[in-house]
Amino acid sequence: MDFNVQADTQEISVFRKEVREWLQENMRGAEGLRWSATWSTRENEEEYQFRRKLARKLGEKGWLFPMFPVEYGGAGLTIDHQLVLETELDHYGINLAAVFYTLARIVAPVILKWGAEEQKREFLPPMLRGEVSVWQVLTEPQGGSDIATCRTKAIRNGDHYVVNGQKIMVGYHHPPDFLWTLVCTDPSGPRHENLGWLYIPGNSAGITIQPMSLMMGIKNSVFFDNVRVPAFNLVGGENNGWRVANTHLELEHGGEGRVGADPLVERVVEYCQQMRVAGTPLMEDTSIRDIIADMLIELHVVHHFARRNFWHRYVREPHPYGGAQFRYYQRMVRLRNGERLQRIMGYDALVPDLTVNEVVDFEYVVRSGPGMLHGGGTLDTDRLVFARRVGLGRPTKEKAPTTI
């Protein structure tokens, strides 16, 4: 990746001006809103509806997925255009991949790679226009991170699959329009050769969603009771789900990367400059400055890992072990930062602050650290993938799948 800072070309400069002016207009009304995080305990309906509306507006211009083909709802633009959108949105504290809660950022690339042409034309445009919310539905009670143990069955019955089973630790507090669901299409088949992916309408008869109020945020259990799903909605082929899962998991496990940086340190510095103990700002304490320096250094490393993976993804040259490396390090840094915040401010770090965006709410950082060690696969999953990619204890190295 080229880390040199270069001036925009004339074309990109014009585009940046267009994006900046468009955001100035369309971000009006957000001044008093504070953004919730991905694993949120906040339920601000006004904020959610603003973000849904913003996503639809971006989608109308093809900017929600700017590099996707125009015929599917994208804008057919280049990585330079994507970087402009990412960086300009970041000024408002929003990530293009998570304008509102939906896993379309993972599901859409998988369908683009593995879906039949008819499926792409039906499933992708609503996602790319920001019209629908999609949950990924993988984890099961008995399997945890080992999704190949999938017991949610999808048995072919004429032109439909009949789905029965349970998923856990998924979703958000608003119901989904679609459930991107890993299922077992051949219960008697060998491991890794008996899976499939169904794109299931969220309002299908037989689906029950049960909220799970957890320390790390609002998640859900999903129950499937004789849910009939058109066979057309099977993406990637019957019993071919593990190959499709490799693309999905590479994105989920850090391979997608990102551009924006974690703004936590800036808020910690501001807090320590303003908070006084015995009349002296906390920032005057050399031990606290040492802690902040450690935070700053590690978050810079996380940022560079994320940008590197973003670049490798979009130039179609996947980094062999970058996803697992980034994800493992990022999660350990978050855990350490939660501990550091408690060392700096004690019990004050455990008090929610609704006046700031949730990602820089100290209580959220402390609370979400342990939970994020498990979400989307455990630390052991990261270690295993890393070991396979660099060839530890193996005669050959496992290749990283190319994503879109």
Q: Which residue shows structure tokens 């700002």?
A: 281
Got the DSSP string for 365-390?
HHHHHHHTTTTTS-HHHHHHHHHHHH
Sort 239 into a burial class: Cβ within 10 Å, 0-12 / 13-18 / 19+. middle
Which distant-in-sequence residues (6+ apart) come within 8 Å of 225 by Cβ? 164, 206, 207, 208
Provide φ and ψ at 292, rounded to 5°. -65, -40
In whole angstroms, give the CA distance from residue 228 to residue 192.
Answer: 24
Distance, in Å, from the CA atom of 254 to the CA atom of 319, rounded to the nearest integer, reads 11
- Residue 220 structure tokens: 């859900």
Query: For residue 187, how far is the Cα from the chain centroid?
Result: 30
In order, the DSSP letters of 312-356 are HHHTT---SSHHHHHHHHHHHHHHHHHHHHHHHHGGGGGS--TTS
Packed helices 104-114 and 241-250: angle between N→C axes, nearest 10 degrees: 140
Round to whole Å and give the CA distance between 297 and 291.
10
What is the Cα–Cα distance from 38 to 208, expressed in whole angstroms?
A: 22
| CA-wise closest residue to 42 among 371, 385, 367, 376 | 367
Burial of 329 (0-12, 13-18, 19+ CB in 10 A): middle
Q: In terms of DSSP H, where are the helices of 40-116?
A: 45-60, 79-90, 104-114
Q: Which of 252, 256, 298, 363 is catalytic?
A: 252
252 is annotated as an active-site residue: yes
Element (H, E) at 10: helix 10-26
Q: Per the structure block, which two tokens stand in for 309? A: 């993976």
Catalytic residues: 252
